[in-house]
A = this chain, B = another copy of it.
Amino acid sequence: MQTIGFEKHDHGACIHDTLAKAEASCADTGLRLTAVRRRALEILLAEHRALGAYDLLAVLAEEGLGSQPPVAYRALDFLVKAGFAHKIEALNAYIACAHLGADHTPAFLICRSCRSVAEADTAPAQGRLGDAARDAGFKIEHTVVEAQGLCPACQEIAP
């Protein structure tokens, strides 16, 4: 699975395709991609960067889509539960899924300088973690894998 985020790519298509997949997924499953939810996903998709709930709320508020924190948190909860977005625990922030529709276990490369985030896949890496869990009798339900450091662009600026 491709690591999406830092390299050049057709980002217009990236946004368009992801929205289309989200809509198709909702049509399939009966979930409702309402105006606020759809716009929230678009806002997250605009860049491959993590946005805080209040950053998202600020944009929604400008557009008259809601001005109180629950508006943002509800939209984010929906997107995360539907698998359309992920929470970056190390930043208390959120990012649109870059592999929407694919069955994947995301791993993130997070730039501490520009907050851009690339999404890779660590299913193989979790073999190791899975071994440790099995040995300990632990039942894994969800994993968080986040690497923090410097993206290619920021290494040149501040190496």
Contacts and interface: CB of A to CB of B under 8 A. Distances in A.
Interface of A: 3, 5-7, 89-90, 92, 107, 109, 111-112, 118, 120-122, 124-129, 132-133, 135-152, 155
Contacts of A150: 138-139, 141
Copies in the complex: 2
A139 B112 CA distance: 11
A102 B24 CA distance: 50
6 nearest interchain CB pairs?
A: A125-B128, A137-B152, A120-B132, A89-B89, A141-B149, A125-B125
A144 B132 CA distance: 16
A122 B127 CA distance: 10
Given A3-B136, A125-B129, A128-B122, A146 B148 contact: no
